[in-house]
Amino acid sequence: MPEARETSAVDADRLRGLVVRGYRVMAYLTGSMLIILCFVGIPLQVFGHDPVIAKVVGTIHGMLYIIYLIVAFAMTRLVGMRTASAGTVLVLAAGTVPVLTFVVERWVTRRYIAPALAGAPAAAEHAAAGR
């Protein structure tokens, strides 16, 4: 019985690490696309009358944001944030506001991810026995 519990705890840690990494990747991807859209695509559309970049990048951002939404939501749950807390809403909405994903990613790392990751793998570190 204890072995089974340890394995599932390790699996949970691995899943959490994976989702956190996925969240970071999606935060930076979505954020980058949104910056290109807002600071290159839309100026070109408005002032240069060339809507191609805005359309293409806008569509890409839309698709990325859907993935971001799902991964970020999974992340908030795995690090113990309440569903309808201001923090969760901020994380989810960040993907639609230019530059905000980068800021929020750093904040959520400091406030939730780092404590969650520091608390759980204590057992794994203990098992590693090297340190």
Q: ∠ at Cα 84 (79, 87), nearest 5°?
A: 55
CB closer to another protein out of 84 and 129:
84
Among 84, 126, 129, 130, binds another protein (CB under 8 A): 84
The footprint of another protein on this chain (CB under 8 A) covers a number of residues equal to 17
The tokens describing 49, both together, are 């009358």
- Nearest approach, Cβ of residue 129 and another protein (Å): 27
Residues 51-70 close enough to bind another protein by CB under 8 A:
55, 58-59, 62-63, 66, 69-70
CB atoms within 10 A of CB 45: 17
49 phi-psi bin (left φ>0, alpha ψ -120 to 50, beta other): left
Are 130 and 16 contacting, i.e. CB atoms less than 8 angstroms apart? Answer: no
Q: Which residues bind another protein (CB under 8 A)?
A: 55, 58-59, 62-63, 66, 69-70, 73, 77, 80, 82-86, 89
